A and B are shown apart, each in its own frame.
Chain A
Amino acid sequence: MSTDALKGKKLGGMNVKEDLFAKNKILYSMFEPRLEYAWDNGIAINTYLSGLKEGKILASVCTKCKRIMIPVRTFCELCWRPTDDTVEVTDTGTVQTFSIARINFDASRLKPGEKPTIPAVIAIDGASEKMGILHILDEVKQKDLKIGMRVKAVWKPAKERKGDITDIRYFKPIK
């Protein structure tokens, strides 16, 4: 028969019910940070985004491991050496996996009638096998979603593109 190291121990961790908290029955203070950042895109991603602005998906080549990598990078993280070249790949690919999001980034729920987002990992044709990016799918019925489906980028019109990952609005199935 085993003993119980926790038996009879009074454990800390007093649970505060949400309504007590919300009604201010216990004391707390609030802080809403206003933090603003300006993130430099860096050398590699700048090249990548400039490509998107022109409606192209660019990739980096490492002649040592022979990988064609997206997004563009200045060094190969596997070989730990500079990449050798930047090449254009296609804007088509294969869905490696997908999900159907009924929540927003802060865990709040979609409003009634709001369309779920369909995030996917898409392996881009012309890049190394399984070399994917995170993006979203659209113009597809949920019942038709499947791993392995072929998709193509739907771009914003050239004059609306500003060098951003959202210059590709989404990927849609290739009929």
Chain B
Amino acid sequence: MKPRRVAIIGAGITKFVRRAQETGKELAWQASKMALDSCGMEFDRIESVTMGTAPDAFDGVHMKGEYLSDGSGGKNKSYMRNFVGGGTGVFAPIHGYFHVASGMFDTCLVVTSEKMSCAYPHPQGAFLTIFDHTTEQALKPTLIWIFALEMNRYMTVNGITKRDIAAVSVQNKNNALDHPAAQVAEKLTVEDVLNSEELVWPVHRLDISPASDGACALVLASEHVARQYTDKPVFIDGAGWNLDTAYWATRDLLYPRYVEKAARIAYDMAGIRNPMKDIDLAEPYDPFNYKMLHHLEGLLLAPRGQAARLFKEGFYARDGGGIPACPSGGALGVGNPIAATGCMKVAELFWQLRGEAGKRQIKGNPRTGVAQAWGDLMQVGTVIVCRNY
């Protein structure tokens, strides 16, 4: 059976902030309502709802999917939460895609909401229990430890410098100046990044995205329904995901194979043979600046080990002639309310491919975009390809 075509027809977002006065439910409601209003769809037309949200430990609310359901419009509907750690934000639209592509539903509201500020004073402590309880937790690891380990290996083996990597923070935070939802948009220099507080060498404060609260939502519809609502549907033409081993220390952190495998599934579906030629813009996940480069390689948008060089040449700049990466400003600039971040990246493809990204709009009427998120214990890749027609 051939899957049905699925379109994104509406998108909504809240501001990303360090501590929102709204609850996670209220944020979910605001983004969802805005998404429906953006395409003029009545709530009654929504047949299914998929909710993406990251660890319950952030909120201290167990079964957070249930807690967030009424804000997400889940009442009396086929509602389900999905969760693949930091990869959730792009997995949620993929999950919504199944709902509609399968023929089970004509419409699906995709909602992502995150309230990281509840973990007080800082959500980092809530990450301790993601590590193996016997062989790793006893060493008191933090997530930043392991990203620093990965960054060091990526940097050292490929012969690139902290300066090369710092430039990614500068570009993304600068792009975010044009995003109305942005939390940490700033004009910075590479020196500012290099001179910011060293947390876990080689990672400094400005190499990392912030902890954030925020929500983002999309309206998905089958093609015949989509055409009733808009002349500019953006189709989900490819979706893929892949998980590597949770024995993370036993694989080479140099290259994200799981991202490549996820991308290959999505590209095959979308008929993309030469990603560097066929893709017009990318929203790779950038919770750390080196991750944007690492992920661009996994997405086959740079030869292995060459993303930093291409970045330096301006290949990923928003107004360059290459493949703009994170024109939204990404997690580094807009903010990183985990699940909502990935969804924000898919919303950015939606706006860019419709020519509705305002000052962030890339040139040349982009036709094909890819968004990606990453998470769990550094081992999951989720990838989506969108196209306008």
Contact = CB atoms under 8 A, between A and B. Distances in A.
Q: Do A and B come from one complex?
A: yes
Interface in B225-272: 245, 247, 249-253
Interface stretch (B142-150, B295-303, B313-321): B142-150
A102 interface: yes
Contact of B19 (A15, A120, A135, A165): A15
Interface residues of A, number: 58
A15 B20 contact: yes
Chain A: interface secondary structure? Answer: loop
A43 interface: no
B181 A13 contact: yes
Contact of A121 (B13, B60, B249): B249
A4 B356 contact: yes
Interface string B11-39: 10111111111100011001100100010
Chain B: interface secondary structure? Answer: mixed
Interface residues of B, number: 69
A105 interface: yes
Contact of B200 (A15, A37, A41, A100): A100
Interface in A100-140: 100-108, 117, 119-121, 130-136
Contacts of A99: 145, 148-149, 151-152, 200-203
A2 B201 CA distance: 42
Interface stretch (B82-90, B117-125, B164-172, B285-293): B117-125
Interface in B152-183: 152-153, 156-157, 180-181
Given A6-B181, A13-B213, A105 B17 contact: no
B351 interface: yes
B27 A12 contact: yes
A31 interface: yes
B134 A101 contact: no
A48 B134 CA distance: 11
The 8 closest A-B pairs by CB, nearest first: A4-B358, A12-B30, A99-B148, A13-B15, A106-B125, A13-B14, A107-B124, A15-B17
Interface of A: 2-7, 9, 11-16, 18, 21, 26, 30-31, 33, 37, 39, 41, 45, 48-49, 69-71, 77-78, 96-108, 117, 119-121, 130-136, 147, 164-166
